[in-house]
Amino acid sequence: MQTTLPIIDVQLGDAKVTSNGQKLIVSTNKFQRVWEWSGYGFITSSLKNLESNKEWCKEQHQFKADWSLPGLIDNNTPCKIDALTAKISNDDGYTSKHIELVAQITYETNISIKYIIWVYPEAPGLRTQLKIKALQGMNRDLAINEDPRGDYLPINWKNIDRKVVGYYNHTQERNAANLKILKEEIITGTVLQPENYNWASIFSAMNDESGVVFIKESHKCVNQFGLDTGSFVVDSKGLTTTGWGLKVTDLTNEWRSAWANWCLVYTGKQINMQKQIKRFDRMRYPINKELDIYILANTWGSNNRMEASTEENVLKEIEVQSELGIDVQQIDDGWQNPKDIPAMSTVTWKPDKTRYPNGWKNVVSLAKSKNLKLGVWFSLGSLNDEFLSKYGHNWAANLEDLKQAYDDGRFTYYKFDMINLHNYDELEHIMKLSRNFVDYTNRTVRINWDVTENEPRTGYFFGREYGNIYLANRTTKLNSETGYVPYLMLRDAWHVSKFLNLNKFQISVQNIERTDKKRSDAHLHNNKYVTAIALMGSPLFFQETHYYTPEARKEIKALLAVYKKYRKEMFEGYVFPIGDEPDDRSWTGFQNHLEDGSGFLMIFRELNNSQNRKKLNLNFCYGKKIEIKNLISGEKQIMTCDANGGLEFIIENSADFLFLSYKIID
């Protein structure tokens, strides 16, 4: 058995990767994780929160490696290290700069793996991932039908509670009071029997002082498990994350990637758990201020649907959007087909001549003159045989179609829809296509991933190095599934902001005068209010804006002008929900907090709330004196938060809001 690891000693800022005999040590100033080489793989022997000095590994490791592939890689499968390397990387520019450690290991069962660790400077944790390759002579028949292990932590569960979190996709069918987008469970007490959470993306072991968090970087959703996304499994010995995303039958003689896992630590209150998740998420999926900060309008959200995508209509939209201060006009489904021909009949992905007689020429010319960028919708469809037999052909766009659209129209924002990731080949195809396309444009485009349906799509924690999540269809169309209801849109955003960076999610703005008055109370609000709901996220005017009245345009233009003064600062902050959960009767809103102690507040007094004043608790401002500025009126005042961060706010009328900045001064 190999007794000494090759020497590794790499540092980037406070991030360090070193080897010491049979130990591998990865750390920043916030945490340290230690593995030991067993001859069967690496096993975690220590995970320490360096801020609280909490050690999370107390039990003897029950396995000989943190990973497994039952029947082929387990406690009885010896292996050898072929190479152990560490270097500074940024994944070819798709993530923040970090140290990448790669251990290449070959098993006697003729499987080779790469165990990959990413550690970012100042990070509260790290990312691990396996890549797997089948070698000549591998016997697939040895595999056992059990979930492979992706990571493991030996935890002593005494006085440790569990928090489990997941998000729903299929937002097109989750637009009612009883259909929330977020699921949370807290389990208290000693672990008496195994617990299996196959619906969650986030698992936290915690007490009142600190916690450790595991996150599966996959397309899992509460209501859609996708490709072997596995579970969080708790037993008396520790925590196991299962699911590789590929099965033994998917292994080839080329390297194929398993789902990655994040392992993070935090200290103190639950809000610090949220903050550390968002900090790591921002490192993994950094914001490009030139591409990720924008206000976008999309043609699909009005009653006209496909007819809204005609050249005549888009030219109208560009004129109005320029007036309002919108940055991007995105042309949704319909541009590629004649009237009344749906996307499923698409044979060629070029602008239809009856809709665009001169191709993209006129739209591109007007957009350029108005200093607007353009976006476009594409269906990426499916590769599986069932789909092809159903529709008679593969109507999904391919890489050459995307390149052609970029060359002809110089579109910057691409909405990818109809994705159906039924097997690993499809997942790999879509991810390679996306990266190849973004590379082709010299990194000048962004992809908006649609999660509105329940087919396996990208989910919430995966693929965001290429762009944002298109969260929900909230239209003027007269039905309950997608019809726009202000408090439900606010609630979705409020829930997303709890564990994710809201500014990576497109939040819809709708024309309140065109919504169904029998099914929505949108018309009882004002245009500024419904616009403000989206401003802590990535604002999406999901509509044809030329239907706005002159009065509505004036109101929206004024609010967007204020927002655009501050949005670059806002995109540096982390957004958290404050107040009560939106229910059409609450005081609620968002706090956007920056690391320097400043930030922004968007506070809503909902339509059916009768209180004109309310104390809300602000995070990270406990007992602090702060300067608050009303960004619309310019009024400033000095206020002191109580020990819980509590501060009283006044909004005289219901269905109104405050847009504020703050700065801690003492």
Nearest alpha-carbon partner for 266 in 213, 336, 221: 213
Q: Are 489 and 533 in contact (CB under 8 A)?
A: yes
DSSP state of 173: G
Q: Residue 223: what pLDDT?
A: 95
Q: At what angle do helices 550-570 and 311-324 cross, to 10 degrees?
A: 70
Looking at the structure, do residues 187 and 265 belong to the same domain, yes or no?
Answer: yes
Neighbours of 200 (CB within 10 A): 22
User: Hey, which residues does 203 pair with through a beta bridge?
Assistant: 164, 214
pLDDT of 385 > 80? The answer is no
DSSP state of 56: -
Scanning the structure block, which residue is given the tokens 């007992």? Answer: 623
Average pLDDT, integer, range 245-258: 96
Of 242, 262, 284, at which residue does a domain stop? 284
Least confident of 124-138, 248-262, 476-490: 476-490
Average pLDDT, integer, range 237-256: 96
pLDDT in tens, 511-547: 999 998 988 999 999 999 999 999 999 999 999 999 9
Show the 3-state SS of 349-376. CCCCCCCCCCCCHHHHHHHHHCCCEEEE
Residue 653 belongs to some domain of the structure: no
Report how far residue 191's alpha carbon sits from residue 455's, in angstroms, rounded to the nearest whole number.
Answer: 35
Residue 619 belongs to some domain of the structure: no
Domain that holds residue 260: 9-284
Q: 587-593 and 256-257: which strand pairing?
A: unpaired
> Residue 387: pLDDT band by 50, 70, 90 thresholds?
low
Of 571, 593, 612, at which residue does a domain stop? 571
SS3 helix, strand, coil % of the chain, rounded to 5? 25, 35, 45
Looking at the structure, do residues 146 and 114 belong to the same domain, yes or no?
Answer: yes
Looking at the structure, do residues 514 and 390 belong to the same domain, yes or no?
Answer: yes
C-alpha to C-alpha distances, 475 to 239, 331, 459, 552, nearest whole angstrom: 43, 15, 22, 18
Q: Are 428 and 462 in contact (CB under 8 A)?
A: no
Q: What single letter denotes the amino acid at residue 291?
A: L
pLDDT in tens, 31-60: 999 999 999 999 999 999 999 999 999 877
Residue 104 belongs to some domain of the structure: yes
Scanning the structure block, which residue is given the tokens 């509590």? Answer: 646
Nearest alpha-carbon partner for 233 in 270, 185, 200: 200
Number of independent structural domains in the chain: 2
Q: Are 71 and 144 in contact (CB under 8 A)?
A: yes
DSSP state of 512: G
Q: 296-298 and 182-187: which strand pairing?
A: unpaired
The dihedrals phi and psi of 401, each to the nearest 5 degrees, come to: -60, -45
Least confident of 267-271, 371-375, 384-388, 563-567: 384-388
Q: Which domain CATH number covers 245?
A: 2.70.98.60
